[in-house]
Each structure stands twice: as structure tokens, then as C-alpha cells.
Amino acid sequence: MGEGICDYTRFIVDLRRHMWLDGVETELRRLIWQIAVTGKYISAKIHESNRKLAGFQNLYGEEQLSLDRSSDEILKNQLQYSGFVREYASEEQDQVVEIGKGTEQYFVTADPLDGSSLVDTNLAIGTIIGIHKESIFARGRDSMVAALYITYGPLITMVYSAGKGAHEFVLNREGEYVLSQENITMKEKGSIYSPGGIRKDCSLGHCRFLEYLESERYKLRYSGGFVPDINQILIKRGGVFTYPAVQKSPNGKLRMLFELQPMAFIVEQAGGCATNGRDDILSLKIDELDQRSPVYIGSRFEVEKAKEFLSNSAA
């Protein structure tokens, strides 16, 4: 068997051992592990799903797949009995759910199934989790202690950070999350861009930024799934993802709590950055559960360039 992530001839570092070696606090280690295990159940649900609409809408008026609701149910139930989670907030719930006894130390945010619109196309989709040590209605930089995302693609991979770097694990045939990339570090500059939104609905500054990237021969990589699109930029160590302010939604499409804060936490841990076009995503205060924000996230050079184009055109 050639060298590879599941080559058993070398010391196998699985997720629990990695977090212990990294000195991650015990309850946080157990919580991250339980969420990672839940990813296996959600993956099983994806494989057996009928990919049909559930006939319900979420807080944002978006049609929910039965898979959105079942993934949310699986996560909530798993966390309810973890013993570590006081409150659970999810893209599929209308309000924050108190699932603990009121003394637990962690607050969890979830996008249980990101990329629902892609389920019928068999493209990669994901789960996004934020872990906070106090109320989620704060600045991410003050409340967040960890974040992770799971990518359901040809492989099931999980990237997590508990504030000590960003690390990727692959779920192997034995059902273990095995370390595949440790301390992922992004370059200053990448070569791919992932532009969401309809260009004709975007600001002049944003369009000029995209034209600049194209003039610099950046390659367009956009699947419509936030998780695989961000994962590609992280694994390729550079590039930029954007979902900008657009005419009908000046705050863009993506949700601060369930999508942007967790990914900003992980990307910053990998040496990248995330902004709304002016301020860091993690410096923005959360006032509403359904708060959205424009986003430019990835390697430093491109994110700074976006801020430059947006401020010049605003001047």
C-alpha cells in the first residue's frame, strides 16, 4: 500500500490524541469529538436521504430539505446529552434552544447542512460548527473558543481549530478521524477566487476587485457550497472567497453565526483573514440570530486588496 493518510505503517494520530497532545481543555476535547462523531451519522443520513423538500421553511424563508431538519435533529440530540452544551443555535431553528441544565460551559452554533441546494447534484456539502464559551450575542473574537467544519465529499474530512492552529482529519475505513494535515498555514497570496452573488447586482468597487483578480489570472473556483469552496482555499493555502453586498440584500447572503464566524475563526488560525469589506468578521458584534454580512475571506493579500477596491470606490 503506497504512502498515504491511512498508511498504518506510521504512528496514527487520531482526533482525540491530537487534541490531547495540543493541550485542548478536556470538556472542549470531548465536545469536539462528539460533534465529529455526529458527522458520521449526518453522512449516513445524506446517503439514505430522499433529497426531497420537507415542506417547511427556516427563519430565512428558505425551503428546508428533510435532510436539513434531520441533520439538525441529529446534532441537537447528540449535543443535548453531551453534558457540555448550555445552548444550541442553528440555522434550522427559529430561536436559541436551551439544551443543558444552565450550568454547562459551552454554547454551540450550527449550520447542520451547508449547501442544501447541491444535495441533488451530488456535489460536496458540509456541516459548520462554532463553539463559544459565553453568550453568542457578542463579538466572535471575545466569545469563540473553537470551530470546525466537516466536508462530505469523496472523502469525509474534518478541519478544526481550538485556537492552536487549524488541522485536517480524514475519516478512514475504520471510522477513525486520522490526522492528514497539521497546522495548515496559508500563503500571503493565492491563485483562486470564489465569487458568490450576481455580478450585475454588486457594487462598482466589488466588480473592479473581481476584474483585478481576473487581470491577474486568478482561476475561478465556485461550487455554491460554502464549505467546499472555503475548504479548497484553505487546502490550496490561498485565494479568496466572497459573497458581497448585493442590491436586494445589502448584508449579503451568508449568516454571521452559522457560517461566517466559524470559518473566519479557522481561516485566521491558518494565517488568513476575513472581513465584511471594512472590519474583521470576528470583531463584529452579533445582535440578531439571523444576522448576515458581506464577506471577503482567504489569504491576506487578496482580502486587503478587496478592502482597497471597496474603500476607493466608496470615496
Residues in the site for ligand AHG, rule: CB under 6 A? 62, 91, 111, 114-117, 196, 224-226, 243, 253
Residue 225 near which of ligand AHG, Mn ion, none (CB within 5-8 Å, type-dependent): ligand AHG
The span of 112-120, 191-199, 266-274, 294-302 binding Mn ion (CB under 5 A) equals 112-120
Provide, rounded to whole angstroms, the least separation between the CB of residue 232 and ligand AHG: 12
Provide, rounded to whole angstroms, the least separation between the CB of residue 15 and ligand AHG: 24
Residue 294 near which of ligand AHG, Mn ion, none (CB within 5-8 Å, type-dependent): none
Compute the distance between CA of residue 302 and CA of residue 313 in angstroms, rounded to an integer.
Answer: 17
User: Within a 13 Å sphere around the CA of 305, how many CA atoms are in the beta-carbon half?
Assistant: 21
Provide, rounded to whole angstroms, the least separation between the CB of residue 23 and ligand AHG: 33
Q: Is residue 114 at the binding interface for Mn ion, with CB under 5 A as the rule?
A: yes
Spell out, one character per residue from 204 to 243, where the chain touches Mn ion: x when CB under 5 A holds, - when not: ----------------------------------------
Residue 262 near which of Mn ion, ligand AHG, none (CB within 5-8 Å, type-dependent): none
Residues within window 152-171 making contact with Mn ion, judged by CB under 5 A: none
Identify residue 229 by its one-letter amino acid code. D
Residue of closest CB approach to ligand AHG: 226
What are the residues whose beta carbons fall under 8 Å from the beta carbon of 12, sequence distance 6 or more?
176, 178, 179
Residue of closest CB approach to Mn ion: 114
Spell out, one character per residue from 254 to 293, where the chain touches Mn ion: x when CB under 5 A holds, - when not: -----x----------------------------------
Residue whose CB is less far from Mn ion, 126 or 238: 126
Provide, rounded to whole angstroms, the least separation between the CB of residue 182 and Mn ion: 27
Question: Site residues (CB under 5 A) for Mn ion?
Answer: 91, 111, 113-114, 259
